[in-house]
Structures are given as C-alpha cells and as structure tokens.
Amino acid sequence: MNVNSSSYASQVYATNKTTATKATSAYDTSTKTSTQVDKMDEMKEKYADIYTPIPETYTKESDELQSAKIKEAYPNYISFQDFLKIVDGFLEGDKIQLGQELTPDEKEKQTQDYDQAYEKAYDLFGGQEAVLEMQKNVQEIQNDYPVNYMAKDGDVQNAKELTSFYNAAVYEGLESGKTLDEAKNDASSARTAWMDESAAIRKTDAAFNKSGILYSDSGESFLQIWNDERDVNWDMNATWDLKEFGIDDKWEWHETYENQEQMISEITKKIGEYNFMLNNSDVIQNANDKIDSHYQGQINNYEKQINEQYMPKAQLALNVFENYKIYDSIDMKV
C-alpha cells in the first residue's frame, strides 16, 4: 500500500491536538485548580482505612513516631542493612563482589559460606522465619506511619512533587479497582516513567556505594558505567525512522517537565504516538525493514510493550496531572 506521509503525520498531530486541547481547556478553568487541591483531600478521607499517604515533607516527629512504633513491637529490630553487616561478620571467606568470576568449586564454597553466615545471623533473632515475619510486620508499621526519607536531607529537591505524584497515582489505582499492592506498584512504575527521579536515583546509588553493595574498582557506580557504555556503543541504526510521522528518535523517549501543563501536553503527545503506532502496523513494518537486521526482531514486541507497559503508565500519569495539583507553577514555559 502506498503511504501518504503527510496524511499520517496529520493523523498523529490531529489526535494529539484534540486530546491536548481537551486536557488543557479542562485544566485552565479557574475552578480546576481548586478541584485538584480538593481531590487529594477527598481521596485521603475516602481511603483513610486503606492507605496512609506518604507525607510530602520530612519531619523529625514522623521519623521518631515510626521508630517508636517499630521498637514497641520489636525491641530487637535492626534495619536490613545492619542485618547484612551481621551476616558479613560471620563470613569465613570474602564478600561477594559484583562482576567477579569464580570457578564452580569456588562458587559452591562461597554459597555454603553465605548460607552458614545467614543461618548464624538468623539465629540471633530466633531463626529465619522469625526474621522474615518481623520484616513483614515492620513494613506494615512503616506503611501505617510513613516517613518521607527522600525529603530528609534536601538533596532531592523535587521530593515533594515525587511524593504527591505517587500518592495521587495510588489513589487513582484504588479508584479503578486495583488492590493496594497493585496500586502501589503501578504508582511507582508511572512515577519512574514520567517524573524526574534523577536526584533520587543518585541518592540511592550513593547509599549503595557507601554500604559497599554497589561499586566498581574505578570508584564509579555501575549505573554510571552502564550509561557510559550505552553512550559509546549506541547504534542509531537500531531506531525506526518515524520522523516524517511526527515521532522523533526512539519512540520510547519522552521529555519530563517541572510544570503541570507541559506534562499534560507531553503525555498526551506520547499517547497519540502510541495509538498511531498501534493503528499503522504497515508504517512500522516499513521502518523496521530499513534498520539493521540484528535489530528487526523488536517489531515482534512493540505492540505488547505499548499495551502492557508504556500506555498504562502514560494514562495513569495523565490522570494524575489532570486531576491533582503536582506542581505549583502551571504557566506554560516556552
């Protein structure tokens, strides 16, 4: 079939424009901001017995209350990181090093060493089952008395917005009939996809490095090494060329903004692109035929990826930004 690229491009942009106009006009009304603020309070009240939202800021009081509740239930409780230190103390051999190469005999010996170390550490707290039960119950206490540790040190400057998005996404999941665990998983996934988590990732990465869990001989984090390797070896010939249809670079990529309207516009645009790809398999097939043969197998998975991964995250994020006030600034930045 002959493809008229201008007509397809028009289809993409028309879909985006229609949806974006609808979203923007709904958001721009003077009553929408009030509605957004009120909806979070409405959801807090509606689901008070099901979900305790994470505070948008860190307070010493909330931290002390959570610790007191945990100590009240488990006077001998220690964090998982401290438990691992106890395990390390019982090791007779060396700690596991990421990327190390061992012979089968060395691997078996190391496994036995760790099994024995864990067993000795578990015995200090009444055995493995008792430790697992304690961890499970402590997690429930932490859920009931949440603390925003991400906002504690101030280095994650958008901690408030990340938290607001997560809470709102959990409520949207509950509203759609999801279980609390399902709603939390979806909220976390959507936040990772559509919010700037770079500072939070760096903070977690630094914590892992400090604990000795994540590091390299050069002192770089493995996350940084992966990024460097990707930048060096990235082959754009693996990317479908869909620019004439309004889709730039890799179709999975998108921008994130610290701005309510820009996020609505960006997500709406991506949803339009996803729908275009789903509805025009011949265009995708033609683009796939032009890339290196090593990468042509990706065409077998893109529909499933869109339907099961990218579209649900985008739709959840759009619901959040349309119905809750995540960012203080709502003026479109040029």
Tally of domains in the chain: 1
User: What is the biggest distance separating any 2 CA atoms in the chain, rounded to whole angstroms?
Assistant: 73
- The DSSP element (H or E) to which 175 belongs, if any, is helix 159-175
With residue 317 as reference, give the H or E element that holds it: helix 311-323
* Lowest-pLDDT choice from 6-10, 243-247, 276-280, 313-317: 6-10
Q: CA 100 from chain center: how many Å?
A: 29
In-domain check, residue 314: yes
- Domain assignment present for 137: no
pLDDT in tens, 216-243: 455 555 455 444 444 444 455 688 999 9
Structure-derived torsion over alpha carbons of residues 150, 171, 181, 55, reported in degrees to the nearest 10: 20
Measured between alpha carbons, how far is 243 from 290 in angstroms, rounded to an integer?
14
- How many percent of the chain have pLDDT more than 90? 64
φ, ψ for residue 169, nearest 5 deg: -65, -35
pLDDT tens per residue, range 168-196: 999 999 999 999 999 999 999 999 999 99
75 found inside a domain:
no
Hey, is 93 helix, strand or coil? Answer: coil
Residue 64 in tokens: 């002390």
Whole-number pLDDT of residue 4? 45
Question: Can you give the pTM of this predicted structure?
Answer: 0.77
pLDDT attached to residue 18: 41
CA distance 280 to 247: 13
* C-beta of residue 265 within 8 angstroms of C-beta of residue 20: yes
Q: What is the spatial distance between Cα 277 and Cα 298, in angstroms, rounded to a whole number?
A: 13
Query: Does the pLDDT at position 204 exceed 80?
Result: no
Provide the token pair at 109.
């010996």
CB 58 within 8 A of CB 67: no
* 300 within 8 A of 260, measured Cβ to Cβ: no
Residue 299 DSSP symbol: G
Taking only the tens place, the pLDDT of each residue in 6-44 is 444 444 444 444 433 333 322 333 334 445 558 999 999
pLDDT tens figures, 118-137: 999 999 999 999 999 999 99
The pLDDT value given to residue 98: 72
Range of the domain at 6: 1-56+154-334
